[in-house]
Structure 1
Amino acid sequence: MPEHKPEYPTLDLPADPKLAENITHFARALRRAGLPIGPGRTLDAINAVAAAGFTEKADFYWTLHACFVTKPDQRQTFAQLFRLFWRDPRYMEQMMSMMLPSLRGVAEERQAQAAEKRAAEALLDGANPSIDQPEPPEEEVKLDVDASLTMSTEERLRTLDFEQMSADEIAQAKRMLARLSLPVPPLKTRRHRATPQGARIDAAGTLRAAMKQGGEIHSLTRTTARTRWPALVTLCDISGSMSQYSRMVLHFLHAVANEKGAGWAKVHAFTFGTRLTNITRHLATRDVDAALAAAGAEAQDWEGGTRIGDCLHDFNRDWSRRVMGQGAVVLLITDGLDRGDPQALAQEMRRLNLSSRHLIWLNPLLRWEGFAPKARGIAAMLPHVDTFRAGHSVASLQDLADALSKPGDSGEKARLMARLSR
Structure 2
Amino acid sequence: MTAPADNNGTFAENIIHFARTLRRAGLPVGPGRVIEAIRAVECAGIERRDDFYWTLHAVFVNRHDQWPLFDQAFHIFWRNPDILKRMMDMMLPTNYLDTGPGDANQISKRLSQALAPSEAPDRPDEEQTQEIDIHAELTASESELLQSKDFESMSGEELEAAKKAMQTLRLPIRECPIRRTKPSPMGRVDMRRTLRAAQRSGGDIIPLRHKAPARRHPPLVILCDISGSMTQYSRMLLHFMHALTNDRDRVHTFVFGTRLTNITRYMRFRDVDDALDAVSEKVEDWSGGTRIGSTVAEFNKFWSRRVLGQGAVVLFISDGLDRDTGDGLSTQMERLHKSCRQLIWLNPLLRYEGFEPKARGIRAILPHVDIFRTVHNLQSLQELSEILSRPDAASPFPSSSFQERKETA
What are the within-5 Å matches in structure 2 for residues 130-149 of structure 1? 149=138
Of the candidates 228, 233, 246, which is equivalent to residue 234 of structure 2?
A: 246
**2:398 matched to which residue of 1?**
412
Q: How far did residue 40 of structure 1 move?
A: 3.4
Q: Note the C-alpha offset of 1:267.
A: 0.8
Matched, 1:311 2:295: yes
Aligned counterpart for 2:319 among listed residues 324, 335, 348: 335
Aligned partner of 2:323: which letter?
A: R
Where does 1:248-397 land on structure 2 (aligned, <5 Å)?
248-259=236-247, 264-397=248-381
Change (3 A) 1:415 1:324: farther
Q: Secondary structure at the match of 2:254?
A: strand
Which of the numbers 225, 232, 247 marks the counterpart of 2:220? 232
Residue pair 1:233, 1:267 contacting (<8 A) in 2 also: yes
Match for residue 403 of structure 1 among 356, 364, 387? 387
Q: Which of 100, 104, 109 pairs up with 1:107?
A: 100
Query: Residues of 1 paired with 2:188 and 2:262: CA distance?
Result: 46
Amino acid at match of 1:340: D
Residue aligning to 2:167:
178
What is the identity percentage for the equivalent residue pairs of Structure 1 and Structure 2?
46
Amino acid at match of 1:159: S
Q: Which amino acid aligns with 2:147?
A: R
Q: Is the 8 A contact 1:387 1:403 kept in 2?
A: no
**Is the contact made by 2:397 and 2:403 (CA closer than 8 Å) also made in structure 1?**
no
Partner of 1:31: 23
Closer, same or farther: CA 60–337 of 1 in aligned 2, 3 Å: farther
Amino acid of the residue matched to residue 394 of structure 2?
G
Q: Once the 2 structures are TM-superposed, how far is the Cα of residue 148 of structure 1 from its aligned partner?
A: 5.4
Structure 1 position 32, deviation (Å): 2.4
- Among 110, 124, 138, the alignment partner of 1:118 is 110
How far apart, CA to CA, are the structure 1 residues paired with 2:35 and 2:135? 45
Structure 2 CA distance for partners of 1:171 and 1:215, relative to 1, 3 Å = closer
Per-residue CA deviations over 1:189-230 (Å, capped at 9, x if unaligned) read 3565453x21x3549789979998999996655432222321
- 8 Å CA contact 1:382, 1:413 repeated in 2: no
Moved more, 165-174 or 218-227: 218-227
1:230·1:265 contact (CA, 8 Å) conserved in 2? no
SS at 1:230 equivalent: coil
1:305 to partner: Cα distance = 1.6
The answer to whether structure 1 residue 189 and structure 2 residue 178 are counterparts is yes
Change (3 A) 1:43 1:414: farther
User: Please, which of 21, 36, 39 is the counterpart of residue 40 of structure 1?
Assistant: 36
Q: Displacement of 1:175 after TM fit?
A: 1.2
* Whole-angstrom CA distance in 1 between matches of 2:42 and 2:211: 75
1:95 alignment counterpart: none
Give the secondary-structure state (helix, strand or coil) at the position aligned to 1:234.
strand
Q: Given the two structures, how large is their TM-score scaled by the length of structure 1?
A: 0.74
**Aligned-partner SS, 2:324:** coil
**What per-residue deviation string (whole Å, max 9, x for no partner) do you get for residues 139-166 of structure 1?**
xx99x95995374332221111112122
SS in 2 for 1:242: helix
Bigger mean CA offset, 363-372 vs 325-334: 363-372
**How much has 1:327 moved relative to structure 2?**
0.4
The one-character-per-residue Cα deviations of 1:251-309 (angstroms, maximum 9, x if unpaired) are: 122222222xxxx4411111111211111111221112112211221112221221111
Measure, in 2, the Cα distance between the counterparts of 1:61 and 1:119.
Answer: 18
3-state SS of the aligned residue for 2:237? helix
Q: CA deviation at 1:310?
A: 1.2
Counterpart AA for 1:169: E
Distance 1:63 1:300 in 2: 21
Give, in angstroms, the shift of residue 323 of structure 1. Answer: 0.4
Q: 1:74 — aligned with what?
A: 66
Aligned pair in 2 of structure 1 residues 204, 158: CA closer, same or farther (>3 Å)? same
- Distance, in Å, in 2 between the alignment partners of 1:270 and 1:20 is 42
Matched residue of 1:342: which SS? Answer: coil
Rounded to whole Å, the distance in 2 between the matches of 1:42 and 1:201 is 73
Equivalent of residue 165 in structure 1, options 129, 134, 154? 154
SS of 2:178's equivalent in the other structure is: strand
Distance 2:308 2:353 in 1: 34
Q: Distance in 2 between matches of 1:377 and 1:227?
A: 37
Q: Please report the TM-score for the alignment, with normalisation by the length of structure 2.
A: 0.77
Seen in structure 2, the aligned counterparts of structure 1 residues 69 and 369 have a Cα distance that, compared at 3 Å, is: same
What does residue 51 of structure 1 align with? 47
How far the C-alpha of 1:69 sits from its partner, in A, is: 2.7
Q: Residues 315 and 349 from structure 1, CA distance in 2 versus in 1: closer, same or farther, beyond 3 angstroms?
A: same
Q: Which runs of 5+ in 1 are unaligned?
A: 1-7, 10-17, 93-98, 130-140
What is the CA distance between 1:187 and its match in structure 2?
0.5
